[in-house]
Structure 1
C-alpha cells in the first residue's frame, strides 16, 4: 500500500500544466518572430546546427524531473508489514433494488439516486464497521463482498444502473438469502441487512427469507422508497414506460409488503421520502446493534520511497544538462534527434 506523509505538496503538481502552456506559447511566439524576419527556405542555411527536437526534449526532461522532486517532497511511503487489529463494530449488508421501477422520480432526483445518497451517507457514518453490497432485480449478485474498504464501496455504488441486470423483476427473497450468506461467521456482533426497495416483490419468498435471517441473528431493516400514490418510470428517451396496452406504467410503493418483511426479519420499516428523516432513523437503528470484535487488516509499518524519485530526477537533470539545444559537432554522424 502506498501513501504520502505530506500529501499537501502534491498540489504543486498543478504548476506542471501551467509551465507547459507558458513554454508552448513562448515557443510559438519565438518561431513566428523568426519566420517574420527570415524566410523559411533560408533558415536552414543560416542556422545549420539548429535542432527541431532537442529543445522540447530538454524542456520535458526538466519538467519530468520537477514532477519527480515534488512527489519526493510529498514523502511517498510503502507499507511493508500487515497486522490485524481488533476493533469494535457491526456488519451491514446493503441489498439495493435496481429494477426499472427504481427510476421513478416520485422521490427526487429518482428512487435509485436517492438510495445511493442514503447508502453513501450511511457509510460515511461507519468507522470500525464492515459493509457489503448486493444488488438485485429479477436476480441478485454481490456487487461488493463485506469489507472495511469504504472508498471502494462508494465507488461501486455510483456505477449502479438497472442495465446491470438483464432479468427484470424484483426478487427480494433471493437478495436477502444472498446477503445472509455474505456475512462472516461471527456470533458476538450485530449483523444487519439494509434492504432498499419499492416493495414490488414479483417473485415471492421475501417473508420466508426474512424469517430465516432473523433465526440467524440478522436484523432486516427495510427502507421503502417512493410515494404511495406512485410515480412514472422514465424510458430514457424523454418519455415514460408503457405497458402492452400503451398505458403509462405507474410504480407504487408497496408499504404493506415492506412492513411485513421488516417484521419477519426482526427489524423496522423506514419510509424514504424527500426529507432526511429516513437517514436519521436508520443511523439510530444501526447504532442500537451490538458491536463485536472485528479483525481489520492494516499496514502498521511504512518505508520511505522518496529516494527513488530523487535519483530519477537527478538522472534526468544530468541528461538534460548534457543534451545541447543544437547538434553536437562531436557527434555529427550520430543522429539521436532528427533535424
Structure 2
C-alpha cells in the first residue's frame, strides 16, 4: 500500500507547468534575438563551442529534481500490511428503533435524533472496543457489522432515518435476535446489546429474545426514549401531525414497563433517555464494568518512509546538471580532431 503522509505539498507540482512554459518562452525569445544578428547556421559556425542541446538537458534535469522535491516534502510511504492485533475491549451491538414514533419531539430535538447523539457520544468514549449497528421498525437489519472502525460507525449513524425501513412496527424481538447473532465467535469477550426504543406497538417475543441472549452471556441493556405522557408524531416537511383513521392526532407514549421487563430478563439495566446526558453516562459506566479481554482487530501497520530513495535521485540529478557544461567540452573536440587526422 502506498500513500503520502503530507499530501498538501503535492500542490507544489502545479507550479511545474508554469516553470516549463516560462523556459520554453525564454528559449523562443533567445532564438528570435539570434536571428536578428544573422543566419542561425552561420552563427552556429562562428560559435562552435556553444552547445545547442546542453542547456535544455540541464533545465529538464533541474525540472525533474524540483518535481521530486515536492514528492519528497509530501513524505511518500510504502510497505504497510494488514495485521491482526489484540487489544483489551468488549463488543457492543446498538439496536436502534427507527419507527415513525421515534420522530416525536417530547425529547429534543426528537427521539431519534437524541438517540443518534447518544450513540455518537458513546462511540467517542470507546477505545479498543468493537461496535455494530442494527436498525429496526417492523423489520430489523444490520446497518453496520461489528467493527472497530469508529469513523465508519459515526458515518453510518448519520445516515439513519425512518425511510430505511418501509414496514412499520417495533420488532424488538427480531432486533435482539439479530444482535445476538451478530457478535464475533471469539471466546471470553464481554458482550452487550444496547436497545434504544420507545417500546410502542412492539410485536412480541422481546422478553423471550432477551432471556435467550442472557443465557448466552450477552447483556441486554435498554434505553427508553420519550416520556410516558407522550407526544404527537410530526409529518416531515409539514406543520401537521400523523392521524388515525378517524382524523384524530396520534399520540405516541414511552412503554416504560415493557422496556424495564426486557432489561430485567436480559440481565442489563434500564435507563430513560431525557433531555440530559444521564442516560449516556449510565450506559457508558455499565459497559465499562464488563470484563474486557483481548479483542482482535485488523489494522494497517508498518508504513515505511521512502524519502531516502527520492533524495538520492534528486542528488544524482543535481550532480549531473552540475557536471554538464553549457559549452562543448574541448577535450572531446580534440579527440574528434585526432580521430579525423588518422
**What TM-score, normalized by structure 1, do the two folds share?**
0.71
CA distance in 2, matches of 1:301, 1:159: 33
Deviation (angstroms), 1:75: 2.1
Go from structure 1 to structure 2 and tell me whether the alpha carbon gap of 1:220 and 1:246 turns closer, same or farther (over 3 Å shift).
same
The equivalent residue for 1:302 is 303
Contact 2:9 2:71 in 1 (8 A): no
The equivalent residue for 1:87 is 87
CA distance in 2, matches of 1:94, 1:209: 15
Go from structure 1 to structure 2 and tell me whether the alpha carbon gap of 1:180 and 1:74 turns closer, same or farther (over 3 Å shift).
same
Answer with 1 or 2: which has the greater Rg.
2
Gaps of 5+ in 1: 20-65, 312-339
What's the secondary structure of 2:80's corresponding residue?
strand
CA distance in 2, matches of 1:72, 1:161: 45
What's the secondary structure of 1:184's corresponding residue?
coil
Deviation (angstroms), 1:84: 1.2
What's the secondary structure of 1:281's corresponding residue?
helix
The equivalent residue for 1:286 is 287
1:214-233 counterparts in 2 under 5 A? Answer: 214-233=214-233
Deviation (angstroms), 1:130: 0.3
Deviation (angstroms), 1:177: 0.2
Gaps of 5+ in 2: 16-65, 314-342
Contact 2:9 2:73 in 1 (8 A): no
Deviation (angstroms), 1:187: 3.2
CA distance in 2, matches of 1:294, 1:251: 40
Q: What do you get for the CA RMSD once the two structures are aligned? A: 2.7
Contact 1:10 1:71 in 2 (8 A): no
The equivalent residue for 2:189 is 189
Contact 2:98 2:162 in 1 (8 A): yes
Aligned length: 261
Contact 1:10 1:70 in 2 (8 A): no
Asked if 1:275 is matched to 2:276, the reply is yes
Contact 1:207 1:264 in 2 (8 A): yes
The equivalent residue for 1:262 is 263
CA distance in 1, matches of 2:68, 2:243: 58
Deviation (angstroms), 1:295: 1.1
Deviation (angstroms), 1:68: 9.8
CA distance in 1, matches of 2:220, 2:241: 33
Contact 2:9 2:74 in 1 (8 A): no
CA distance in 2, matches of 1:278, 1:72: 50
The equivalent residue for 2:213 is 213
Go from structure 1 to structure 2 and tell me whether the alpha carbon gap of 1:146 and 1:68 turns closer, same or farther (over 3 Å shift).
farther
Contact 1:79 1:299 in 2 (8 A): no
Deviation (angstroms), 1:73: 2.7
Asked if 1:10 is matched to 2:11, the reply is no
Contact 1:191 1:217 in 2 (8 A): yes
What's the secondary structure of 2:82's corresponding residue?
strand
**Runs of 4 or more off by more than 4 Å in structure 1?**
1-4, 66-72, 304-308
The equivalent residue for 2:321 is none
Go from structure 1 to structure 2 and tell me whether the alpha carbon gap of 1:263 and 1:2 turns closer, same or farther (over 3 Å shift).
farther
1:119-198 counterparts in 2 under 5 A? Answer: 119-198=119-198
Deviation (angstroms), 1:70: 6.3
